[in-house]
DNA sequence: GTAAACTAGTTGCATATGCAACAATATCGC
DNA sequence: GCGATATTGTTGCATATGCAACTAGTTTAC
């Protein structure tokens, strides 16, 4: 492929400028494709089991881990990495399904809490085995203990930096 | 948090059943949140530079790396991890923007190629510096050389397994 | 104390995406 | 050969999501 040598040179130049070496570019591409492919499989598992999609689980998990099973909308949006409007609609759907309810914040008239209902808690418990099976099958099975530890640390730093905390 | 001990026990039970230990679950959660947060930042960078979104870059990159700058629709869908219908619409948009064109496959009357245009090639070159800067800033800067190598290997396996190849 | 600036959440609009159904073509079994 | 089956790509429909604009409430500056 002689026509790519010029292109390759251009790439290498940009790598230096942007401090992005080839190893990191490949790692990034592996990250986005692995994520897309694994999520697609796991979503399919949930769908086939007649369960709600992944995004619902994330919300239910964050709420059940929060003190009083409640979070302010903006905290929840941050936790699940969604825009405020996206979260507002997602909470609409969960509320309509009875899995959570909105409650005004008595200390801040602008804000409201999303509060997990018992039904939401039960749904999370129903979803978890299917989700866990998907993670184990499409992710865990291909990653060693040591690799999992490295992923956790490195991606934890990426997450914290990008989320701004 | 006394109310969570029972829940924790239930979790541990499921971990054993599904062969999913806590390290791998945490690694998975780090993966999805880091991905979401970093992609969000990078997309914002592209948007602010008046450039098309990430998905467009992926298509342009796959085409430019392919022999003859052309791929069958289903190959492209697989490469960028999108459903056939999703890809069909994405190619619609790129074609309308003049960045690629469809061509019938003379060897298979059902199929068609997506072929990169010169304009598409130029657009990819325009997008790359901004994209590379985003990757370097929101991903590369937080990952060591060794971690990048581990990510590449481990996530490469996850990708190949989930994509079925 | 009050006006200005900020923050929280929702909504209109545009865009993105998957599933199911479909039409066109190819391949397999025989 | 030829009918049954499978594959390719597109479309109708439903759902999901972000930005910008908006309302309502809070905080800051003076």
**Other CB atoms closer than 10 Å to residue A120's CB: what's the count?**
24
Which residues in chain B (92-111) have CB-CB distances under 8 A to chain A?
Answer: none
Question: What stretch of H or E contains A13?
Answer: helix A5-18
What percentage of chain B exceeds 70 in pLDDT? 88
**pLDDT tens digit at each of 165 positions of chain A:** 444 454 455 544 444 445 688 999 999 999 999 999 999 999 999 999 999 999 999 999 999 999 999 999 999 999 999 999 999 999 999 999 999 999 999 999 999 999 999 999 999 999 999 999 999 999 999 999 999 999 999 999 999 999 876
Evaluate if residue B3 carries a pLDDT over 90: no
Residues at the strand D interface (CB under 7 A)? Answer: A 53, 55, 82-87, 89-90, 93, 108-110; B 40, 43-44, 47, 72-74, 77, 84-85, 87-89, 91-92, 102, 105, 108, 110-112
Give, as ranges, the nucleotides of chain C with any atom within 7 Å of a protein CB: 7-12, 16-21, 23-27
- Measured to protein CB atoms, the chain D nucleotides within 7 Å are 7-12, 16-21, 24-27
Which residues in chain B are contacts of A135 at CB distance < 8 A? 18, 20, 24-25, 28
On whether any CB of chain B is under 8 Å from the CB of A35, the answer is yes
B23, B142, B149: residue with CB nearest A158: B142
Mutation target to probe the A interface, by most A beta carbons within 10 A, among B13, B54, B153, B159 is: B159
Asked whether the beta carbons of residue A128 and residue B156 sit closer than 8 angstroms, the reply is no
DSSP A37-102: HHHHHHHHHHHHTT---HHHHHHHHHHHHSGGGEEEHHHHHHHHT--HHHHHHHHHHHHHTTSEEE
Say what the pLDDT of residue B129 is: 96
* CA dist., res. A159 & res. A165, Å (int): 9
Exposed / middle / buried, residue A4 (Cβ in 10 Å: 0-12, 13-18, 19+): exposed
| pLDDT at residue B145 greater than cutoff 90 | yes
Kindly list the residues from chain A whose CB atom is less than 8 angstroms away from the CB atom of residue B24: 135-136, 139-140, 143, 148
Tell whether the model's pLDDT for residue B18 goes beyond 80. no
The confidence score (pLDDT) of residue A32 equals 96
Report the distance separating Cα B106 and Cα B99, nearest Å: 22
CA distance to partner chain B, nearest, from residue A132 (Å): 6
Integer Rg of chain B from CA? 20
Whose CA is closest to A3, among B76, B95, B101, B121? Answer: B121
Cβ–Cβ of B162/A37 closer than 8 Å? yes
pLDDT of residue B6 exceeding 60: no
| Domains assigned to chain B | 2-163 (1.10.10.10)
What is the spatial distance between Cα B154 and Cα A141, in angstroms, rounded to a whole number? 10
pLDDT digits (tens, 9 = 90+) for B28-71: 999 999 999 999 999 999 999 999 999 999 999 999 999 999 99
Whether B93 CB is under 7 Å from strand C: yes
Question: What is the pLDDT at residue B74?
Answer: 97
pLDDT of residue A17: 46
B12 touches chain A (CB under 8 A): no
Please give the pLDDT value at position B163.
86
Q: Which nucleotide is nearest to B82 (CA to C1')?
A: C17
Q: How far is A91 from chain B (nearest CA, A)?
A: 19
The mean predicted confidence, pLDDT, of chain B is 90
């Amino acid at each position: 492929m002689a026509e790519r040598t010029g292109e390759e040179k251009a790439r290498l130049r940009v790598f230096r400028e942007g401090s992005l070496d080839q190893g990191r570019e490949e790692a990034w591409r592996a990250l986005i494709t692995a994520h897309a492919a694994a999520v697609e499989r796991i979503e399919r598992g949930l769908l086939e089991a007649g369960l709600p999609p992944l995004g619902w689980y994330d919300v239910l998990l964050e709420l059940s881990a929060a003190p009083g099973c409640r979070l302010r909308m903006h905290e929840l949006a941050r936790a699940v990495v969604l825009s405020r409007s996206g979260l507002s609609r997602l909470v609409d759907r969960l509320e309509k399904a009875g899995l959570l309810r909105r409650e005004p914040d008595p200390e801040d008239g602008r804000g409201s809490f999303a509060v997990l209902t018992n039904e939401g808690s039960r749904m999370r418990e129903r979803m978890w085995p299917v989700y866990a099976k998907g993670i184990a099958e499409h992710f865990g099975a291909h990653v060693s203990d040591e690799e999992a530890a490295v992923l956790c640390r490195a991606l934890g730093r990426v997450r914290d930096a990008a989320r701004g905390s």
